[in-house]
Amino acid sequence: MGGIGIIKFKKLTKTAVLLPLLIFIVTFIYGALKFDFSGNTPNQPYGLIYSFVILQFVFIGYIVSFIVNGVVAVFFLKKMNQKEPQVQRLISIYVTSWLLLLVLFWKIGYSSLFPYTTLFSPGTIGVGLMVLFVAITGWLVVDRSRDFTGDRVKSIHVKSVVFGGMIPIVLILLTVGTRLGFLTYAQNNRNDEYQQVIEEKLHSVGTKGDVQIVKAYDSSNSTHVQLDYTVTQEGISVSAKGVLERSNLKDKWELTDSTLTTYDHSIQTILQVPAHSKEAKAFLDGFSEEVEKSIAKSGLTKEIGVNTPLEKNEIRTAYDLPYLAYNNEGSTKKIKQWAKENSQSTNKKQSVFGGYAAVTVKQLMKSQMIIANVPIQYPYVEESDFDEREENAIKYRDEVIKNLDYSKLMDGYYEIKVDSSSYPRLFLVKNHQMSEVDGLLSSSMLREPTDDLGSFGSDYKEW
């Protein structure tokens, strides 16, 4: 490589190692200028322009810079044994910083895409420090190398390499680690305060149990906090959502809304326990099996199925799997009666949560307070006609319902639909006979407690 070629190569390498730092600085300056907007609100650090136009280029820019610096890192490592101990130490710092940058960006680095507003978040601190280290050490390696081909072969100085690699690691532990520890400590303190407020409110209305905060959507200066929490009685847990509010930072928190209040006002929330019990799983598995048999009896196994393999780019949600739904239009009279009987039981697990947690799936089906749903997948065929697919989905659905063996189904409401975009059909089974039901009932899925529990508004009950 000639002298001019070496000079050009050094310039390109210096540009490569500076690229992540330049992206970080440019995005910070963009936020500091505040010339973006969000809706009708002007002067935003990162608004609609950034989110919908610039952000994707920033992300791609980071990815390209990581790849380019990966190539540089490999080149440096190949030439390491030709360098002086000081340069070897710099190469070690550079490579370690690049690796840490990849890990931090992948794990907690989303905040670094908005550095002006998230400057003190652990992800932004870590990414900011590592892009700085990559830029400085990469530049120094190039600057202190006489050339990239003519240095005579030397030995690897292990102490220099190890010492260099430890510098960015220790720095990340001292900065990001300390910041994470501080934030965790502060969050735990806030969670303890939230827990006490919720327990006091629930206990005051007769809802006992130990409260555990699952997730709080807050900050240190919040006056409005949305959170997920659990209440546990005798080893049985119910998941809930709630809202805490206060007028100012000096006032005490107040639980203003919650999906779990008094037992009688929180039936739907508590029924997540029986809806996801072993009994419920066995019931839904049995219903699904009968649907599969009906599909086979109808000669439709090549067209539809309950558990068909995922198609390319297909994403399935809880609504695409068998589930139980709460009948919002049903009468709770029978459930309240069964719950009252359970609450008087000497078996503590039977009496928890006012007895509602021990109501069986069979009782819930019999009272027509839940609806058993089995969605049927209808794999997409390329170039198929949309209207024809819709007609087929309805035809297949009706055929499956007609050929079901109702002697294997317990009394209650059932709902079947073919394809997520088609119309479901509700029917009632009583004494092993199917009865037609006009229209549909308003219902809400009894979600898996560990899943997202839904919105922060429509689920709340009055105290």
Q: What is the three-class DSSP state of 229?
A: strand
Q: Which two tokens stand for residue 110?
A: 């989303």
Q: Distance of CA 38 to CAs 110, 112, 217, Å?
A: 20, 20, 21
User: Do residues 144 and 278 both lie within one domain?
Assistant: no
pLDDT score of 154? 66
Strand order in the sheet with 323-327: 433-436, 425-430, 412-418, 370-376, 323-327, 443-445
Q: Which of 100, 121, 156 is the endpoint of a domain?
A: 156
Dihedral of alpha carbons 167, 168, 169, 171, sign: positive
Q: Does the predicted model carry a pTM greater than 0.85?
A: no
Q: 166 lies in a domain? A: no
User: Do residues 281 and 140 both lie within one domain?
Assistant: no
Residue (of 66, 196, 207, 83) closest to 150 by Cα position: 83
pLDDT score of 146? 63
Q: Is the pLDDT confidence value at 350 over 90? A: yes
- What average pLDDT does the segment 80-105 reach? 92
Q: 336 lies in a domain? A: yes
- What average pLDDT does the segment 337-352 reach? 94
Q: What is the three-class DSSP state of 135?
A: helix
Q: Is the pLDDT confidence value at 149 over 60? A: no
Q: Is the pLDDT confidence value at 372 over 50? A: yes
For strand 433-436 and strand 425-430, is the pairing parallel, antiparallel, or unpaired? antiparallel
Q: How far apart are CA 117 and CA 138, in angstroms?
A: 28
H or E stretch including 36? strand 36-38
Phi first, then psi: what are they for 419, rounded to 5°?
75, 135
Q: Distance of CA 178 to CAs 105, 119, 185, Å?
A: 18, 15, 10
User: Do residues 283 and 412 both lie within one domain?
Assistant: yes
Q: Is the pLDDT confidence value at 329 over 60? A: yes
Which pLDDT band holds residue 310 (cuts at 50, 70, 90)?
low
Q: Which of 156, 172, 199 is the endpoint of a domain?
A: 156
Q: Which of 156, 191, 212 is the endpoint of a domain?
A: 156
Domain count, the chain: 2
Q: What's the chain's average pLDDT?
A: 89
Which residue would you say has higher pLDDT here, 308 or 347?
Answer: 347
Amino acid at 15: T
> Residue 62 carries which DSSP code?
H
Angle made by CA atoms 463, 342, 256, in degrees to the nearest 5? 15
Q: 249 lies in a domain? A: no
Q: Is the pLDDT confidence value at 383 over 80? A: no
String of DSSP letters for 82-128: GS-HHHHHHHHHHHHHHHHHHHHHHHHGGGGGSTTTSTTSHHHHHHH
Angle made by CA atoms 426, 429, 430, in degrees to the nearest 5? 145
328 CB-near residues (< 8 Å, 6+ apart): 441, 442, 443, 444
- In the beta sheet, which residues pair with residue 323? 373
Domain that holds residue 78: 3-156
- Are residues 81 and 149 in contact, defined by beta-carbon separation less than 8 angstroms? no
Least confident of 171-180, 266-275, 298-307, 354-363: 298-307
Indicate the Cα dihedral angle 293, 298, 302, 304, nearest 10°: -70
pLDDT score of 456? 46
Which residue would you say has higher pLDDT here, 4 or 15?
Answer: 15
Q: 460 lies in a domain? A: no
- pLDDT per residue over 425-458, tens digit each? 999 999 999 988 888 889 999 987 766 544 444 4
* Residue reference for tokens 């390319």: 312
Q: 219 lies in a domain? A: no
Q: Is the pLDDT confidence value at 369 over 70? A: yes
Which pLDDT band holds residue 85 (cuts at 50, 70, 90)?
confident
Q: How far apart are CA 246 and CA 253, in angstroms?
A: 5
Q: 381 lies in a domain? A: yes
Q: Is the pLDDT confidence value at 147 over 90? A: no
Q: 251 lies in a domain? A: no
Which pLDDT band holds residue 307 (cuts at 50, 70, 90)?
confident
pLDDT above 90 as % of the chain: 70
User: Do residues 439 and 290 both lie within one domain?
Assistant: yes
User: Do residues 15 and 144 both lie within one domain?
Assistant: yes
Q: Is the pLDDT confidence value at 70 over 80? A: yes
Amino acid at 182: F
Q: How far apart are CA 159 and CA 447, in angstroms?
A: 56
Q: Which two tokens stand for residue 375?
A: 């969605």
Angle made by CA atoms 10, 16, 17, in degrees to the nearest 5? 95
Cα 176 → chain centroid: 23
- What average pLDDT does the segment 27-34 reach? 95
- Are residues 104 and 126 in contact, defined by beta-carbon separation less than 8 angstroms? yes
Q: 339 lies in a domain? A: yes
Classify residue 71 by burial, with Cβ atoms within 10 Å: 0-12, 13-18, 19+.
Answer: exposed
Question: Cβ atoms within 10 A of the Cβ of 380, count?
Answer: 11
pLDDT score of 438? 81
